[in-house]
Structure 1
Amino acid sequence: MNLKGKIFKGIGGFYYVHTREGDYECRAKGSFRNRREKPLVGDLVELTPVEDSEKERTGNVVRILPRKNELIRPEVSNVDQAVVIFSLRNPAPSLNVLDRFLINMERREIPTVIFFNKSDLCESEEDSCYAAHLREIYERAGYPVLVLNTREEHFREEVLRILRGKTTVLSGPSGVGKSSITNWIHPMAQMETGELSRRIARGKNTTRHTEFFYLDDETYVLDTPGFTSLFVTEVPSERLMYYYPEFEPYRTRCRYHTCVHIGEGRAVCAVKRAVEEGGISEERYQSYRQLYLELRDMERY
């Protein structure tokens, strides 16, 4: 009898599947190669147990159930939400990189929550004001934001509330504490956390394979390798504005429907007026402007 389960780890051609009967170590049937299909971590699958195996609970993946989404880096599927983590200090956050990540998730219609970690390093009033400013920028853009400190236990319950009942990808630049947060919410993960490089103030990538950690019923978390930059190459420049949700209330008030909010004057561009009046943050607008110009230059060649 076939069993249904979820692939939570893939290493060297083996797929580890969580089912109601327990976890199974599986191989994929050769028919997948013939169809040029590949099981992904996160896939819901059917497996056939191998009864005469020397190992306990082994099987063959025989069918991949329909996916609701798929990511390329990391190669995972059926993601309910992404949590992108940036630290407030050591390393300082790059909002341009954060915005690129948000655009990539918007393209795939994957809801995103933002964690700003290491609030314990914000010792001055200026640092605290900056943390509050970042929270305001992204909450105004429509994203849930949590400013946290893993040294304080009450944040752990808040993080678990956000994760509960969902399959979540944790991502962000290296050194911001992704693996530390995974260990914090699930100590059995026993993940390496690495030490921040003193020479370049950037963390080492310590995540070496793709694995969702099972927390409880329907709750899985994947810590992904860190990134330092993201390319937004599949979005036409004239459509970039649609990936900035806070532009929407103003975009329709521009005098011309072809307005891209770059070269147009304040008198005809409602988005530019909103930036000057504080309705849209200057940081987000400058991020948009930089990405727009990058995409337009790429399109020329």
Structure 2
Amino acid sequence: MPEGKIMKALSGFYYVKDEEKVIQCRGRGVFRKQKLTPLVGDYVEYQAENDQEGYILDLKSRKNELVRPPIANIDQAVLVFSAIEPDFSTSLLDRFLVLVESHDIDPVICISKMDLLNDAQTEKINRFAEDYRKIGYPVILSSAKWEDGMDQLKPWLEDQVTVFAGQSGVGKSSILNALNPALELKTDAISNSLGRGKHTTRHVELIGIGSGFVADTPGFSALEFTELEVDQLPLCFPEMVKASEDCKFRGCLHLNEPKCAVKEYVENGEIMEYRYQHYQQFHDEIKSRKPRY
């Protein structure tokens, strides 16, 4: 049975790439019965009626999936933040990082508009960048125009399936357009009343950039931890995972437990205090979440 990868989903059709050819497929009715929806990024078995059309017969197992954009088997997320206008927020970045980590996706942090900062502001952002690099996250610093950031960013996209996410109004669509001008993504002006960027897309598609693929729709619009449980949260902070090997109790939540190595690391500055504070906030948020039935 031939196999391929769904590159685009539009109006009930799935465009399956098998080496050099793309077959327009419909999903089988059995997927509806099983409450399965084929997603862009899925590896599938299909049956071709002819050179152009066919049916998807089977979905291969996924390593991960997102609801927005509806896409599967993502390798990494490029998290786009601005240094200013809107101001850089470690709290918002940590929220994105937790969501990305919880989906088993590797993050790459991009901070733009560095050219709009004064010396003190630049120093502050550079300090934050170092903090995140110490944890092990790649951090790219760019000007507002992004052309210089492209040379730094492109190598990260090779051989990866990448989704872009991040602050509203920071130019995610502009970056995608700079990567592939043929995209011509609509970048509606920032709505002044809300201070938010408006994004308009109708379907999801994987676009080839070099040897990798990029989703043409920014991801993670909802930032609530609806799927995450409190015992999974510490696993989304890599520096805590490392430190927790020295905690007295297995399954330590690093809050009130005795002989907690994470709290010691925070006290001696090996774990950033603001990261630990965000961890506590997220923990409280998940714990107070209303149960869903």
- Report the residue type matching 1:31 in the other structure: V
Which residue of structure 2 aligns with residue 95 of structure 1?
Answer: 90
Shift of 1:228: 5.9
Moved more, 138-147 or 221-230: 221-230
Shift of 1:143: 1.3
For residues 42-101 of structure 1, the C-alpha deviation after alignment (integer angstroms, 9 at most, x for no partner) is 1122333343xxxx8333323323323222332211112222211212222332232222
Match of residue 231, structure 1, among 224, 235, 239: 224
Alignment-derived partner of residue 220 in structure 1: 213
| Number of equivalent positions | 292
Q: How does 1:63-78 map to 2 (within 5 A)?
A: 63-78=58-73
Q: Aligned pair in 2 of structure 1 residues 228, 276: CA closer, same or farther (>3 Å)?
A: farther
Query: Which residue of structure 2 aligns with residue 13 of structure 1?
Result: 12
**Structure 2 spans left out of the alignment, 5+ residues:** none
User: How far 1:13 moved relative to its partner?
Assistant: 0.6
Q: Does 1:280 align with 2:271?
A: yes
Alpha-carbon distance in structure 1 between the residues aligned to 2:21 and 2:250: 56
Equivalent in the alignment of 2:244:
251
Go from structure 1 to structure 2 and tell me whether the alpha carbon gap of 1:46 and 1:226 turns closer, same or farther (over 3 Å shift): closer
Between the aligned residues of both structures, percent identity stands at 39
Q: Does the 8 A contact of 1:85 with 1:173 survive in 2?
A: yes
Contact (CA 8 Å) 2:247, 2:260: kept in 1 or not? yes
Alpha carbons 1:173, 1:227 under 8 Å: kept:
no
Deviations 1:18-60 (A, max 9, x none): 2323333322233322333221101122333343xxxx83333
Partner residue in 1 for 2:74: 79
Range moving further from structure 2, 148-157 or 83-92: 148-157
1:174 is displaced (CA, Å) by 1.9
Q: Which runs of 5+ in 1 are unaligned?
A: none
TM-score normalised by structure 1 residue count: 0.85
Over aligned residues, Cα RMSD in angstroms?
Answer: 2.7
Paired residue for 1:262? 255
Mapped contact 1:115–1:145 kept (Cα < 8 A): yes
Whole-Å separation in 2 of the counterparts to 1:21 and 1:106: 33
Equivalent residue for 2:134, pick from 133, 136, 140: 140
Contact 1:24 / 1:59 at 8 angstroms: preserved in 2?
Answer: yes
